[in-house]
Amino acid sequence: MNLPAAFGNAPRPGNEARFQRLRAFKLTRMYTKLLTKTLAVSLIAAAALAGCSSTSGPAFNISQIQTSDGQKAYRAECYGVFEKGSACMTAAQKMCGNQPVNVLQTLVGTQVPNDPRSVIFNCATPVQQAQPAPVTPAPAAPANEPQPAPAKAMAPAPRKVLLDEKTNFAFDSAVLTPKAKGILNQLVAESQGANFASVTVEGYTDSTGPDAYNVGLSKRRAQAVLTYLKERGLHADKYSLKGFGKTNPIASNATDVGRAENRRVEVTLMP
């Protein structure tokens, strides 16, 4: 190999050793640069040829993966440098056969649609979103349809309690017997604290004796009954009492049985 002129043709007298060392250093440096350039060119050529498995087209790598939602999918990668990315989609279509290629994600793509160089796909028809069921409107109510009038609640009937003289009062007396008190206690308990519109107590006698006396006796008996009911908690908006004496008989005063029925006290509760 001829050395460049920079090394000189011959050493000066007395500098032969120094000349040989300098020449060796410069040769080493020149060969290093030459080797570096040769290696760089080789690497570029290798990179250009690495993407092609043959002269017919680029090399492909298709691997099976699983997506984050558990779907089975594939990753197709095209390593060709000089080929178009559409070849990668061609490889994916060959993988799916008769099924369509459903692209799940384009990792790296060109500016041309459907021309990616690396895609994730599966071989299934894309899932169609379910359409909402049609809403059937409720039938409208007929306008101005007459409504039946609410039925009127029947007013509760008045309650009447009858106390006869034979079992509820002593003879010629307005003092209540234990039996009379039991009847009145039951009446208060059955009212269950209700408030009546009115409570009316009326006393009656038979036709025996003076009228004035009979009116007074019937009134005292009515008063005894009303006082007992109020003391036991029978509530009403209005209380009234009256002694009628021998008037308004319910039986004949010509017999003992009839006269006994006429000697009575009537309690009327109006809801």
**Binning pLDDT at 50, 70 and 90, where does residue 243 land?**
very high
124 burial (CB, 10 Å; 0-12 / 13-18 / 19+) is: middle
**CATH number of domain containing 188:** 3.30.1330.60
- Domain match, 242 and 177 both: yes
In a 10 Å sphere around its CB, with 0-12 CB exposed, 13-18 middle and 19+ buried, how is residue 262 labelled?
buried
Regarding whether 258 and 181 lie in a shared domain, the answer is yes
Give the SS3 label for residue 87.
helix
Assess whether 115 and 191 both reside in one domain. Answer: no
Contacts of 195 (CB under 8 A, 6+ apart): 235, 236, 237
Is the pLDDT assigned to residue 163 strictly greater than 80?
Answer: yes
Give the phi and the psi of residue 12 in degrees, each rounded to 5.
-70, 155
Counting every residue written for the chain, the total comes to: 271
Taking Cα atoms as reference points, which of 59, 61, 63 lies closest to residue 82?
Answer: 59
The rounded distance, in Å, linking the Cα atoms of 188 and 186 is 5
pTM of the model: 0.43
Element (H, E) at 263: none
Q: Is residue 131 part of a domain?
A: no
Q: Lowest-confidence range among 39-53, 116-130, 147-161, 196-210?
A: 39-53
| Residue 6: predicted pLDDT | 47
Q: How many domains does the chain have?
A: 2
Within-domain flag for 47: no
Least confident of 53-57, 76-80, 137-141, 172-176: 53-57
Q: What is the mean pLDDT of residues 85-106?
A: 75
Q: Burial of 203 by CB count in 10 Å (0-12 exposed, 13-18 middle, 19+ buried)?
A: buried
3-state secondary structure of 208: coil
Query: Is residue 86 domain-resident?
Result: yes
* Residue 55, beta-bridge partner list: none
* Same structural domain, 61 and 116: yes
**Residues 178 and 256 placed together within one structural domain of the fold:** yes
Establish if 20 belongs to a structural domain.
Answer: no
* Position 17 in a domain: no
Q: Do 259 and 200 lie in a common domain? A: yes
Residues 167 and 67 in one domain: no
Question: Amino acid identity, residue 200?
Answer: T
Q: CA-CA distance, 80 to 82, in Å (whole number)?
A: 6
In a domain, 41, yes or no: no
Phi, psi (deg, nearest 5) at residue 22: -65, -40
What percent of the chain shows pLDDT beyond 70?
A: 68
Domain that holds residue 68: 54-122
3-state secondary structure 234-248: CEECCEEEEECCCCC
pLDDT of residue 10: 60
| 167 located within any domain | yes
Whether 174 and 115 share a structural domain: no
Would you state the torsion angle of the CA atoms of residues 40, 41, 43, 45, taken in this order, to the nearest 10 degrees?
160
Q: 44-48, 72-76, 122-126, 237-241: which range is least confident on average?
A: 44-48
At residue 237 the predicted structure's pLDDT band, cuts being 50, 70 and 90, is: very high
Q: What average pLDDT does range 136-149 have in this prediction? A: 69
Q: Is the pLDDT of residue 97 over 50?
A: yes
Q: How far apart are CA 100 and CA 126, in angstroms?
A: 9
